[in-house]
Amino acid sequence: MGPAEIRDFVNSLRSTFSSIEVCCITIALSIPTIAVVEGAAFGGGLELALSCDLRICGKDAKFSLPETSLAIIPGAGGTQRLPRIVGRSRAKELIFTGRRFDAAEAVSMGVVNYCVPAGEAYQKALELAREINQKGPLAIKMAKKAINGGAEVDMTSALAVEEECYEQVLHTQDRLEGLAAFAEKRKPVYTGK
C-alpha cells in the first residue's frame, strides 16, 4: 500500500472509532458500550476496544499497539485514548516499544475491567450488561455524560457538568420509583422517564 492508501485506511479507522464514541455520547448509544477481547487485540483492534466504555477479556488475550515497529504511529485514536486510561508515561512506554502485554497486565493497568477464563468474556459482558440494565436508564445515561464531559476539563467545569447531569435526573419518574422501591424493600421498575 502506498502512503495515500494507508492514510485513507487509517483516516477511515479513526473516523469509525470516533463515530462510535460520538454516537455513544450524544445519540442512541448513550448507553455503555462493552468490548470483548478473546485472543489478540493489536493495533486497530486495541484502538477499537479503547473506544468503548468497558473492556472484558479472556485470560489468553494479548494486547499491543505495535505501529512504531512499522515506522508509523497508532492512528485510530490509540495515542489519545490509551494515555487517558493508563497515564501518559505508561502509554508512551507501550506505544514507543510496541510491547505486547497479557490479560493480567491489561487488568493491572486498567486497559480492561475484567479478565475471565478463556472463552467466557462474552458471557461476562452479557452479565455486566444485565447488571447495568437493572439501573435507572436515565441515570446511566447522565452518569456517562458527566464522566465523559468532565474527564478532560478543570474541576470547576467538571463539577458544573455533573450538576447539569444531576439536574436532568432529579425530576424523573425513575428517581421517584428508585426511592419508593428502596423504602418498600423491592426491586425498582424503571421506565426511562
Catalytic residues: 47, 67
Q: What is the DSSP string of 83-139?
A: HHHH-HHHHHHHHHH---EEHHHHHHHTS-SEEESTT-HHHHHHHHHHHHHTS-HHH
β 114-116/101-102 pair status: unpaired
The residue written with cell numbers 445515561 in the block is 141
| Total Cβ atoms within 10 A of residue 114 | 17
Residue from 62, 68, 108, 114 nearest 85 by CA: 108
Copy the grid coordinates of residue 12.
477511515
Describe the strand order of the beta sheet including 54-58 as a list of residue ranges: 34-37, 54-58, 114-116
Separation between Cα atoms, residue 52 and residue 34, nearest integer Å: 6
